Amino acid sequence: MTYGTADLNDEGAASKSTLASTVYHQLRDDLLHGVLETESKLRVEWVVSRYGAGASPVREALNRLASEGLLGRHDQRGFFIMPLSAAELEELTRTRCWLEERALREAIANRTHEWEEQLVLALHRLSRTPRRLPEDPSVTNPDWEKLHRAFHRALISACRSRWLVGFCDQLADQAYRYRQMARGGTGVQRDELGEHRKIAERALDGDADGAVEALLDHYRLTTALCMERFSQSEDPKTQLGKARRRQ
């Protein structure tokens, strides 16, 4: 078979896009799980070496992550991992509460039988999945994390605004980084399944005020756990730095 120049160009562009997407997902996963040290510079050469891709797809992935707020960018000086701080967490929590209150009220106002069924199913699946791995209770069950995210997405899915859902997803990613820091905290006790059940039941009952109250209490309690961890460390920004690296 003979390929024309256009075919080869298209094939090369597709390959580059695939590589960029692979690097994006791998690096994004590492950022969210705190594998990389916060505030560190991300040199293109180091990312190329770690993730096994060329400089061009790496730069594309880094730019995409910067646009999502998971990386910072200095003009002419490259990228860096966004730091964690108590002040940033407070702002994140306030903003998330503002947006998700609006999204939840809209979802309840525009609820359908399909939305109700999806929410019930999401809660059921979450309730059937252990929060921690049975073989190692100190490790969060990745299946639970996926179902937890699915529950919160189902909760606001009827708000009729893909923009609002997208912004809420972006804030959920940022909040996830802080939640990793809160693991192992002992000062605040909680019943996570009970919290999720209360949110869902009030939403399904059409009680917008009650559902919003339960949702915001849920987020604020998570923030309290994170703040506890900040107070336990003289340098809280290192809480997620589990794998140091030389550049």
Q: Is residue 89 within 8 Å of residue 226, measured between CB atoms?
A: yes
Tell me which of 1.20.120.530, 3.80.10.10, 3.30.565.10, 1.20.140.10 is the CATH number of domain 86-231. 1.20.120.530
Top-confidence residue, 212 or 41 = 212
Measured distance CA(5)–CA(224) in Å, rounded? 59
Domain boundaries, the chain: 5-82, 86-231
Q: What is the mean pLDDT of the chain?
A: 84
pLDDT digits over 138-150, tens only?
778 889 999 999 9
Give pTM, 2 decimals.
Answer: 0.78
Top CATH class of 5-82 equals mainly alpha
For the chain, the first-to-last Cα distance in angstroms comes to 45
Q: What is the pLDDT of residue 40?
A: 74
Q: How far is CA 234 from CA 41, 78, 80, 229, 231, in A?
A: 22, 28, 22, 10, 7
pLDDT digits over 13-40, tens only?
445 568 888 888 999 888 888 787 765 7
